[in-house]
């Protein structure tokens, strides 16, 4: 189980959905909200990992099979949360995938697949979350996973960078649409966070550059001024804070956590 340093019970009684919550950053966010008193639906396609995570968290979390490409499944994840806690307070649209290839080697169907998960999935998760929060009438928080790659382009990950830039814009637009309902919409833009996602990146980039896994990891780590990869906890603490009253006037923003790796 990942370590977490929850700061008490600031989310006690809240209902939270985290897409892609079974592993990596999403799991860190799930653990943080549970540590701070929330009930969390782990909405993921990897049910083995989701069930394992939920089992470690007892009654405070449940695994719900959710493919973010399916709006009805996203709605179901929200409904499970509401049935348990009476309301949806926080919707974290974290699920995302990466593909590594020079643009000239990509095909249209690969673009459609990635954008379907990374952009449409976040848009529909934001939609069902916002509609539920509007119906409740007491506000709420939507937090979406962008990336440093959404702020500037990176060779060989054009599909990913394009998708993450789209998330910043859809979040900004939605923040203005739902401000009247006291719903806040923000994004997080991590730099290099060590998670299972990196196995895909390392495999793709290592192959292209002729490097081993360790050499590829070392090369990335050397670009980070803080001297190490980030951890899911480095992201989770900020996501939690964004959903507290201390952040009440913060909406339509992107918060980076990147160990001074500017401009990520």
Ligand X SMILES: NC(=O)c1ccc[n+]([C@@H]2O[C@H](COP(=O)([O-])OP(=O)(O)OC[C@H]3O[C@@H](n4cnc5c(N)ncnc54)[C@H](O)[C@@H]3O)[C@@H](O)[C@H]2O)c1
Residues carrying an active site annotation: 160
If the CB atoms of residues 101 and 134 are measured against ligand X, the closer one turns out to be: 101
Asked if 25 is part of the footprint of ligand X (rule: CB under 6 A), the reply reads yes
Does position 64 interact with ligand X (CB under 6 A)? The reply is no
**How big is the CA angle at 143 (ends 126 and 234), to the nearest 5 degrees?**
150
SS3 of residue 140 by DSSP? strand
Per-residue tokens: 93: 């649209």
By the rule CB under 6 A, 196 interacts with ligand X = yes
CB of 146 to ligand X, least distance (A): 7
Closest contact distance (angstroms) between CB of 249 and ligand X is 25
Residues 86 and 88: their CA atoms lie apart, in Å, by 7
**CA atoms 142, 148, 151, 154: torsion sign:** negative
Q: Which of 24, 129, 206, 237 binds ligand X (CB under 6 A)?
A: 24
* DSSP letter assigned to residue 120: I
Which residue among 15, 18, 19, 254 contacts ligand X (CB under 6 A)?
19
Query: 64, 88, 193, 257: which one contacts ligand X (CB under 6 A)?
Result: 193
Taking the C-alpha atoms of residue 243 and residue 42, their distance in angstroms, rounded to an integer, is 18
- Binder to ligand X among 53, 54, 61, 95 (CB under 6 A)? 95
Q: Considering only 178-186, 195-203, 207-215, 240-248, which stretch makes contact with ligand X by CB under 6 A?
A: 195-203
Binding residues for ligand X, rule CB under 6 A, total 28
Strand runs labelled E in the chain: 15-19, 39-44, 61-65, 90-93, 140-145, 183-190, 254-257
From the CA atom positions of the chain, what is the Rg in Å? 18
Q: Does 153 bind ligand X (CB under 6 A)?
A: no
Sole binder of ligand X in the list 52, 97, 120, 221 (CB under 6 A) = 97
b vs e for 4-22, b when ≥16 Cβ sit within 10 Å of the residue's Cβ? Answer: bebeeebbeebbbbbbbbb
Is 125 an interacting residue with respect to ligand X (CB under 6 A)? no
Binding site for ligand X (CB under 6 A): 19-20, 22-26, 44-46, 49, 66-69, 94-97, 117, 145, 147, 190, 192-193, 195-197
């Amino acid at each position: 189980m990942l370590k977490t340093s929850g700061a008490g019970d600031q989310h006690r009684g809240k209902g939270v959905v985290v897409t892609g919550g079974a592993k990596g950053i999403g799991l860190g966010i799930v653990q943080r909200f549970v540590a701070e008193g929330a009930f969390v639906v782990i909405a993921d396609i990897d049910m083995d990992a989701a069930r394992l995570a939920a089992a470690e968290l007892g009654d405070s979390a449940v695994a719900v099979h959710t493919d973010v490409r399916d709006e009805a499944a996203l709605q179901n994840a929200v409904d499970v949360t509401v049935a348990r806690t009476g309301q949806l307070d926080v919707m974290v649209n974290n699920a995302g995938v990466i593909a590594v290839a020079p643009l000239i080697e990509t095909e249209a169907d690969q673009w459609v697949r990635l954008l379907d998960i990374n952009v449409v999935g976040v848009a529909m998760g934001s939609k069902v979350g916002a509609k539920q929060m509007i119906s409740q009438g007491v506000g709420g928080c939507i937090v979406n996973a962008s990336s440093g790659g959404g702020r500037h382009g990176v060779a060989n990950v054009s599909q990913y960078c394009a998708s993450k830039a789209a998330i910043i814009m859809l979040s900004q637009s939605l923040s203005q649409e739902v401000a009247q309902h006291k719903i806040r919409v923000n994004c997080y833009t991590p730099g290099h966070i060590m998670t299972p996602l990196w196995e895909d990146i390392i495999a793709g980039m290592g192959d292209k550059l002729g490097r081993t896994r360790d050499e590829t990891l070392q090369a990335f780590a050397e670009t980070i001024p803080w001297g190490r990869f980030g951890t899911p906890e480095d992201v989770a603490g900020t996501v939690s804070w964004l959903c507290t009253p201390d952040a009440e006037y913060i909406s339509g923003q992107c918060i980076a956590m990147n160990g001074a790796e500017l401009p990520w």
